[in-house]
Amino acid sequence: MAELKAMPATEGYGGWKNQLENITAPTPWKGVSLRALMDLVGGSGSVTVVASDGYGATLSADQAGGSVNTYDAATGQATSGVAVKVIIAYAKGGAALSSGEGPLRLAFVTSENNQVTDSDMWVKKVVELRVN
Reported confidence tier of residue 132, pLDDT bands at 50, 70, 90: confident
User: Mean pLDDT across the stretch 31-53?
Assistant: 92
> Which domains, from first to last, does the chain contain?
2-131 (3.90.420.10)
Sign of the Cα torsion 57, 115, 2, 102 reads negative
Average confidence (pLDDT) over 64-75 = 96
The size of the chain, in residues, is 132
pLDDT band at 15 (very low <50, low <70, confident <90, very high): very high
- Which DSSP string do the residues of the chain spell out, in sequence order? -HHHHHSPPEEEEEEEE-TT--EEEEEEEEEEEHHHHHHHTT--S-EEEEETTS-EEEE-HHHHTT---EEETTT--EE-S---EEEEEEEETTEEPPTTT-S-EEEEEBSSTTEEEEGGG--BSEEEEEE-
